[in-house]
Chains A and B, each alone.
Chain A
């Protein structure tokens, strides 16, 4: 099989494009797709400081690699989840990646900072470990970005992730979540801009890019992920894709082009108020992270002792998730 571009020996076949590429041409195609995503949604500016949420997996390290290669000011943030040897290996691979590129890696340990880890959350909380994991990441990445003076948080969500999330929300007709599923979530008071530059690329493509770039990523799956809802949706989408190459692309990118404008028009704006404990914006009395944390630790939620107006604190400390993420969005847990 020959490369569609240069005629050389192909090493990656993309059935959804009816094309195949040699290693060099594929890397060019991959980078072009990321650049196209960034340009189309005005995700990052040349001078923006980017905080890349890195897990040690193929997607986030591929994303960090592309952004660094393109000359962006991109630091990494790793969140230690406390999942035994799996987390240890994930941190080691991430740190080795950063060292090899002389890139800056920031690290947060969930247990040290918040008093619980993900295995404990799975045993003690009312939510699944995957749900608490995703909630914790969104909350802590946002706060770290604001505290560190970053303009944007970039995550490695790929086309398969996004198609699976859209499928899950469509099966339930969660129209509010559907309306907000965008490759870019603009900054708001207390919320840093969030972008997904890999949303045009499949898992196969991010894995192939990471391999061809010599990135030593964690291949093993999280030991807590068995039975994960997102995984089931991905398998369903893959079954459709196997018979109809391009179906995932049409489903998600078609939604962005033609569905999202319609769903967004139908949604009312949500008003946010400060969480009574941490003062970050939320739609309820307490934000989802504070509620989950209190439940896991067996603590009673009480307003933080302060004489200050919590609305002022909200704008100063500002760290929360979007309203769409507050009520236990089930699938978007990277």
Chain B
């Protein structure tokens, strides 16, 4: 499964056919600090993801500038 990470943008391969929270745990990402997006839809950490899925993991934290 492809996972697109942001800031900086990059793509990693991880195993699918499990729950979002398990993917995030493997990537050492706190689920309360990201949106997980699949095909334009938000996922919660309890949703299952398949091996053929492509996820975007979008951080929500901002440092204050901009």
**Which of A107-115, A184-192, A203-211 forms contacts with chain B?**
A203-211
**Residue B26 lies at the interface, judged by CB distance under 8 Å to chain A:** no
Q: Which residues of B contact A235 (CB under 8 A)?
A: 61
CA distance A234 to B50 in the complex (A): 32
Residues from 1 to 31 in B contacting A, C-beta threshold 8 Å: 6-7, 30
CA distance A221 to B58 in the complex (A): 11
CA distance A299 to B6 in the complex (A): 41
Count of residues in A whose CB is under 8 Å from the partner chain: 52
The reply to whether B37 and A334 contact each other, CB–CB distance below 8 Å, is no
**Residue A212 lies at the interface, judged by CB distance under 8 Å to chain B:** yes
The reply to whether A11 and B44 contact each other, CB–CB distance below 8 Å, is yes
The reply to whether B35 and A225 contact each other, CB–CB distance below 8 Å, is no
**Residue A228 lies at the interface, judged by CB distance under 8 Å to chain B:** yes
CA distance A208 to B42 in the complex (A): 8
**Residue B45 lies at the interface, judged by CB distance under 8 Å to chain A:** yes
CB-nearest residue of chain A to B60: A207
Q: How far apart are B35's CB and chain A's nearest CB, in angstroms?
A: 6
CB-nearest residue of chain A to B58: A219
The reply to whether B64 and A241 contact each other, CB–CB distance below 8 Å, is no
The reply to whether A225 and B61 contact each other, CB–CB distance below 8 Å, is no
CA distance A13 to B41 in the complex (A): 14
CB 8 Å contact bits of A192-229 with B (1 = contact, 0 = none): 00000000001110111001100000111110110010
Contact residues on B (Cβ < 8 Å of other chain), bracket:
20 to 34
CA distance A224 to B62 in the complex (A): 12
Of the candidates B46, B47, B59, B61, the one having the most CB atoms from chain A within 10 angstroms of its own CB is B61
CA distance A20 to B42 in the complex (A): 12
The reply to whether B42 and A222 contact each other, CB–CB distance below 8 Å, is no
CB 8 Å contact bits of A133-174 with B (1 = contact, 0 = none): 110000000000000000000000000110000000000000
The verdict on A20 contacting B32 (CB below 8 Å), with A130-B65, A218-B66, A230-B64 known, is no
The reply to whether B30 and A238 contact each other, CB–CB distance below 8 Å, is yes
The verdict on A219 contacting B63 (CB below 8 Å), with A10-B44, A11-B42, A12-B44 known, is no
CB-nearest residue of chain B to A56: B66
Residues on A lying within 8 angstroms of B by beta carbon are 1, 10-13, 15, 20, 23, 55-59, 81, 83, 86, 90, 118, 129-130, 133-134, 160-161, 202-204, 206-208, 211-212, 218-222, 224-225, 228, 230-231, 234-235, 238, 241-242, 245, 331-334
Beyond the given pairs A13-B45, A238-B32, 11 more chain A to chain B contacts, judged by CB atoms under 8 angstroms and listed by A's residue number, are: A11-B42, A13-B44, A130-B63, A203-B61, A204-B32, A211-B42, A221-B62, A228-B63, A228-B65, A238-B33, A238-B61
Residues on B lying within 8 angstroms of A by beta carbon are 6-7, 30, 32-33, 35, 37, 41-47, 58-66
